[in-house]
Amino acid sequence: MDIETKVSIVKELAEEVVTESELRSLFETDAHPIAYDGFEPSGIAPIHFGLQRARNVKKMLECGVKFKLYLADYFAFINNKLDGDLDHIRTAGEYFIEVWKASGLDSSKVEIVWAKDLMENLDYWDKVLRVGKATTLERVKRAITVMGRKEGESVSAAQLMYPTMQVTDIFYMDVGICQMGMDQRKANMLAREVADKYKWRKPVAVHHSLLLGLQGIPPGVDVKGDSDTAIEYKMSKSNPSSAVYMHDSYDVIKKKVAGAYCPEKVVEGNPMFNWLRLVLLRDMKEHIAIERPAKFGGTFEAAGYKELVESYQAGKLHPMDLKNYVAERLEEQIKPVREHFEKNAHARELYEAVKSYRITK
């Protein structure tokens, strides 16, 4: 695959690439750069974890990237997820691995890395201190939004270490591409600042759009380029009212989607379009066929996402018809994961264990 094709594929995944020229240079000098995404094991997997992340990783692998999936167990501990119970957190991490497998990720092509393994080394903590020396307390406080906390919120002393540890991970794993959500932007920008100060290799930040929650974004709220505001409206595994989960039955999926924010003729802030664009469609030019009764016009067809958007904005497609289509596409992609956990005894045991834990924010 030529370099321009690789750059194009990565850009398709991203809301923002910092910077495109650095990404191109990275591919020119390294045919197999390391990319990573990190996760706190902290509950049942929603679709942004099981579908969006799997899709993004598969695309990155097409570009020859070596991908590391980082299970941030001690980060979840610091952040008091699952009541800060490390045993529960690590069980949740093992459950996450099963979700990735069921979502179609080839475990032989990605590396699973646990925070606990990195933290056994003194060199890791040496780097934590060096990162801490290269920034200020005020800068770290601004970055605590990466762990789902609001800037200015009261946090523990351990939680103040979270951003510097996350930045350390990037350098310690020799990451060339931080392929993460917009909610992680502040940590990645901090890493780039630290790299400048120490003349370390500066990571390219590839930030994908966040999957919206069922509640959508109301008119007048602009989240583009604003990671803090975007976090408020994203789908969250700790907020059941915002999420569709990888274990939801078709009936549950249909019920949740039927109640989702989806105003007539409105595309901006509409989770139905957000999910189609980021997860459910194989590509933006995929032919779309939406079944509906003859009395309502019969089968609706669109030659790709753009035409679907234009037709919806013109009032040619009713919100309920769109919702029915989205529910069908969700079922199509969630069903194999749900069945994996029904048929695989070990996976089912992990799921039942995590489902029994108290979810804490």
Same domain, 242 and 128: no
Q: What is the mean pLDDT of residues 165-184?
A: 97
Regarding whether 244 and 122 lie in a shared domain, the answer is no
Q: Number of helices (H) and strands (E), helices first, in the chain?
A: 18, 8
Same domain, 285 and 172: no
**Per-residue confidence (pLDDT) for residue 112, from 0 to 100:** 95
Residues 58 and 178 in one domain: yes
What whole-number distance in Å separates Cα of residue 182 and Cα of residue 14?
9
Domain count, the chain: 2
CB 130 within 8 A of CB 198: yes
Does the CA dihedral 78-83-85-91 come out positive or negative? Answer: negative
Decide if pLDDT at 353 tops 90: yes
Which residues have a Cβ under 8 Å from the Cβ of 24 and sit 6 or more positions away? 3, 4, 7
pLDDT in tens, 238-248: 788 889 999 99
The reported pTM is 0.92
Average pLDDT of span 217-243: 76
Please identify which residue in the block is written with the tokens 């049942």. Answer: 44
Asked whether residue 85 carries a pLDDT value surpassing 90, the answer given is yes
Same domain, 36 and 142: yes
Phi-psi region of 288 (alpha: psi -120 to 50; beta: other; left: phi over 0): beta
Task: Look at residue 226 and tell me if it is in a domain.
Answer: no
Q: Is the pLDDT of residue 219 over 90?
A: no
CATH number of the domain to which 304 belongs: 1.10.240.10
Per-residue pLDDT at 228: 65
262 and 199 share one domain: no
Domain containing residue 83: 3-208
Q: Tell how strand 300-303 and strand 287-290 pair up.
A: antiparallel
Looking at residue 176, its pLDDT comes to 98
Asked if the structure places residue 351 within a domain, the reply is yes
Q: What value does the mean pLDDT take over residues 202-217?
A: 95
Percent of the chain beyond pLDDT 90? 83
- What is the percentage of the chain residues whose pLDDT exceeds 70? 98
Residues 40 and 146 in one domain: yes
Q: In this structure, are 65 and 166 located in the same domain?
A: yes
Is residue 223 very low, low, confident or very high in pLDDT (cuts 50, 70, 90)? low
Same domain, residue pair 203 and 249: no
Mean pLDDT of 174-190: 96
Pairing of strands 66-71, 110-114: parallel
Domain-terminating residue out of 166, 191, 208 = 208
Residue 224's pLDDT band (cuts 50, 70, 90): low
Q: What's the mean pLDDT in 305-315?
A: 97
CA angle 252, 238, 51 (to 5 degrees): 60
pLDDT at 341 over 90: yes
d(C-alpha 101, C-alpha 57), whole Å: 12
Q: Per-residue pLDDT for 17 more than 90?
A: yes
For 153, the 3-state DSSP assignment is coil
Lowest pLDDT segment from 145-149, 189-193, 286-290: 145-149
Say if residue 168 is in the same domain as residue 247: no
Does some domain include residue 222? Answer: no
Q: Starting at the edge strand that comes first in sequence, how are the strands of the sheet with 66-71 ordered?
A: 16-18, 204-208, 177-181, 34-39, 66-71, 110-114
The least confident of 82-86, 128-132, 221-225 is 221-225
For all residues of the chain together, what is the average pLDDT? 93
Listed residues 208, 228, 256: the one ending a domain: 208
